[in-house]
Structure 1
Amino acid sequence: MSAQRHVIVGAGLAGAGAAAAIREADPDASITVLGEEAHEPYERPGLSKDYLQGESDADSLLVHDRGWYDEHDVTLRTGAHVDSIDRSAGEVVLADGERLGYDRLLLATGSAPRRLPVDGIDLDGVLTFRTREDSDAVKAAIASGDPLVVVGAGWIGLEVASAARAAGVDVTVVHDGSVPLGHVVGDVVGQRFAELARSAGVRLVDGTQVARVHGDGRVQEVELSDGQRVPASTVVLGVGITPRTELAEAAGLRVDDGVLVDGSFRTEDDAVFAVGDVARAHNAWVGEPVRLEHYAAASDGGPIAGRSMAGALREGEQWAKPPFFWSDQFGAGLEYRGWADPERHHVVLRASAPASETGTPWFAFWHDGGRLVAGLHVDGWDDADTVKDLVTSRAEVDVARLADPQVPLGDVRV
């Protein structure tokens, strides 16, 4: 019997993790990883954190050490664009017309940053943030010392603003919400992130949008929907990302805010899988399909997808960890675990000092009738494991005790 042919479209964390899991499960399998970027697979979180601030180099971002692909007989093809999937023939078609056969195919195509449909958006100095080249461009803009506007107050936007402020750059963050991160954490917790950003010298402009970008070849000014004009030599767009589902859609696979897959990342076609940003997968902990744009989803999902492709899933194995992400901004470090809807679930703030007092721990928890669904700590490293345990076990808690910083977190269960 000939070796199974595994083709992975997408050379990021999820795709590289899947390749490693396939090789571990099947020493004889043929594995080809196709990536559009010129680099070996790398991890993206550092792009807006230590790499952006010049505290780490490109090699520190790599998923596997240089030489790993050759050592493990994995064919890595960078600069490779896949035009289409021929499911009936079991082939992917590359941009140059080459057809590459597969027995199992993994779509790990990730997402693309959104742009704004406004005049001037294509001027020099208007940047998105997704790739290593994007991070390098923002790093160069920060080094210039000129004013910078960040559009969007999500995690990426705030981390870019943090890096720029650390370098002494004048930063304005423009967003259409009432508080930063409001769509993720709600107004109560979002207000604390606003305090943190303002205490670092960020100018926050809430409840407005970009109407137009002005400049002569290069951006010089951002005009807002409320009439304000903000000087800027660089604009960084952090207005979200869109899953790259075009290959799946054209191939007739089911798509609904991501490629629909089960808990082992298999589509309705037994030969095709999807994982990472592009996949909307059933998560057993959440209890429903979710699409996550965070490191942990790719890190956890890639190996499961690889074992699933190789027919080597452990008994009962599926994606079942609570969602998790972390951020570093304005001198504070945080972790969020779980799955909360800030409009539906109740929030409990546990804090003894203003958010501007970095280094003083504070927490937020979300619950449904006293049963935890998510938890966030900011600089609460001594209690990080307790937060993890409370959320992962969906603990039932005494809400009053949970809100009281004098009560140890280990003593809040009912």
Structure 2
Amino acid sequence: MTAHGRLLIVGAGQAGVQTASSARDLGWRGPITLLGAEPHSPYARPPLSKAFLNGKATADSLALRTPEFYADHRIDLVRDEHVHSLDLAGDGTGSAVAASGRRWAFDRLVLATGAAPRRLPLEGADLDGVVVLRDLNDASVLAGRLHTADSLVVVGGGFVGLEVAAAAAAAGIRTTVLEIASSLMNRVVSPVTAEIVEKAHRACGIRVMTGVRPARFVDGAQGSVAAVELDNGIRLPASLVLIGVGASPRDALAAAAGLRCDNGIVVDDQSRASDGHTLAVGDCANLPDPSPTPGPAPRLRLESVDNAVEQARAAATTLMGSPQPYRSVPCFWSDQGSLKLQIAGLARPDDDIVVRAGKRPGQHTALRYRGTHLVSAECVNSPIDFLSVRRAIAAGTSLSREAAADTQVPLKKHLSAPVTTGRG
């Protein structure tokens, strides 16, 4: 198979679009078809929980590329087609069949099927007013309901839930956030950063309840939600409920085709699935940790724009027959009202923490160490620190904990002694 073949990309989100774009830029000469299940042109998802809700972004402004881009790059964008089966041959060729009956033959296949919002198997979960947020249609429904809601309960204290809570509180809606864990964002930030974020939300009038579990959603009248009842019996009024408890990879299509799946489509560091030919990128992929940090690379899924773009670029080199293993410093960000959280690198719960208080109220940087190695940073309203640490981790720059704790010297100046690190 050469770059003259037919390339089919199933999934028209950030990862799918980037794969198509990068493959063409690297010299793929054959037809490229990009299949999207939504009726919309490919769009950016992060603003859905922020700018789109407060009216600062529209469906048109979220477009990832212009219509002219697809035409100029000879990318056939097909919308509103849901692929329900794959016929894969041993050499990676085959065909994809949509629910409509349309069929696309391919010489090379990339799966960029993304993830779906998790639901809660609770009484009342299907009531009107209990919503999720993943795509543009979800965001449109949520935005409309926020105009009439007087009380919002957000189930889940992760990025999406807190971003929506901040937007709702700013609009004057009585807002409560429920988190089953003992702290917000417990899977992604340290307790000290979580505490700062929680204080900022409380200061904006948001009620935050941690260590609590919803038991059921209460029907008010005519099938609409009126309250959330907790397992301790407390009942919270709610004319609107957002379920924000994470997402599950859309890997059923791959599994049915015989590809190995385990919390996503299992791929190697060149984005190749278990058949050695099909590629998987973005939120649906279970991949080796791409971080340039010492030690073995555990398998994980990364749900971020940064990963979607960077993994797709690396995957395009695999398509071209000159694979470059995917190596990158994973990055995440979340805008929650006036609070901007940026994370560089991946920390583990047992990593040590060195805290650098900012010079201005609301600033904070938590550096995470694994042994003597700087592996991550959690930066609140500190974009310069974020950029400095991201570059330092990528370059293998050394920074002692003692130096890191010295806030009299800017972090950017501290990070000036490059050393070589690698997986051992």
Residue 306 of structure 1: aligned partner:
316
Residue 57 of structure 2: aligned partner:
56
CA distance in 2: counterparts of 1:406 and 1:195, whole angstroms: 25
Residue 400 of structure 1: aligned partner:
402
CA distance in 2: counterparts of 1:189 and 1:323, whole angstroms: 18
Residue 139 of structure 1: aligned partner:
143
CA distance in 2: counterparts of 1:117 and 1:279, whole angstroms: 25
Map 1:266-305 to 2 at 5 A. 266-282=272-288, 283=290, 285=292, 287-288=296-297, 289-305=299-315
Residues 255 and 261 of structure 2 are in contact (CA less than 8 Å); yes or no, is this contact kept in structure 1? yes
Equivalent position amino acid for 2:158 in 1:
G
Equivalent position amino acid for 2:235 in 1:
R
Q: Secondary structure at the match of 1:19?
A: helix
Map 1:212-251 to 2 at 5 A. 212-215=216-219, 216=221, 217-251=223-257
CA distance in 2: counterparts of 1:116 and 1:132, whole angstroms: 21
CA distance in 1: counterparts of 2:396 and 2:375, whole angstroms: 6
Residue 170 of structure 2: aligned partner:
166
Deviation string 1:30-78 (CA, Å, 9 cap, x unpaired) is 1111111111111111111212221122222111112322232211111
TM-score (normalised: structure 2)? 0.91
Q: Which runs of 5+ in 1 are unaligned?
A: none
How much has 1:397 moved relative to structure 2? 2.6
Residues 291 and 345 of structure 2 are in contact (CA less than 8 Å); yes or no, is this contact kept in structure 1? no
Residue 261 of structure 1: aligned partner:
267
Deviation string 1:249-300 (CA, Å, 9 cap, x unpaired) is 1111111221111222111323310000000123262552331011100011
How much has 1:91 moved relative to structure 2? 1.1
Deviation string 1:390-409 (CA, Å, 9 cap, x unpaired) is 33234433323323422321
Residues 263 and 284 of structure 1 are in contact (CA less than 8 Å); yes or no, is this contact kept in structure 2? no
Q: Secondary structure at the match of 1:91?
A: strand
CA distance in 2: counterparts of 1:403 and 1:51, whole angstroms: 39
How much has 1:27 moved relative to structure 2? 5.5
CA RMSD, aligned part only?
2.0
CA distance in 2: counterparts of 1:54 and 1:86, whole angstroms: 43
Runs in 1 of length 4+ with deviation above 6 angstroms?
Answer: none
CA distance in 2: counterparts of 1:18 and 1:2, whole angstroms: 14
CA distance in 2: counterparts of 1:285 and 1:101, whole angstroms: 38
Q: 2:194 aligns with which of 179, 190, 196?
A: 190
Q: Secondary structure at the match of 1:58?
A: coil
Q: Which runs of 5+ in 2 are unaligned?
A: 418-424
TM-score (normalised: structure 1)? 0.93
Equivalent position amino acid for 1:101 in 2:
A
Residues 6 and 29 of structure 1 are in contact (CA less than 8 Å); yes or no, is this contact kept in structure 2? yes
After TM superposition, the structure 1 stretch with the greater mean CA deviation from structure 2, 256-265 or 395-404, is 395-404
Aligned length: 406
Q: 1:385 aligns with which of 380, 384, 387?
A: 387
What is the identity percentage for the equivalent residue pairs of Structure 1 and Structure 2?
39
CA distance in 2: counterparts of 1:60 and 1:324, whole angstroms: 24
Residue 337 of structure 2: aligned partner:
330
Residues 145 and 168 of structure 1 are in contact (CA less than 8 Å); yes or no, is this contact kept in structure 2? no
Residue 318 of structure 1: aligned partner:
325
Residues 161 and 202 of structure 1 are in contact (CA less than 8 Å); yes or no, is this contact kept in structure 2? yes
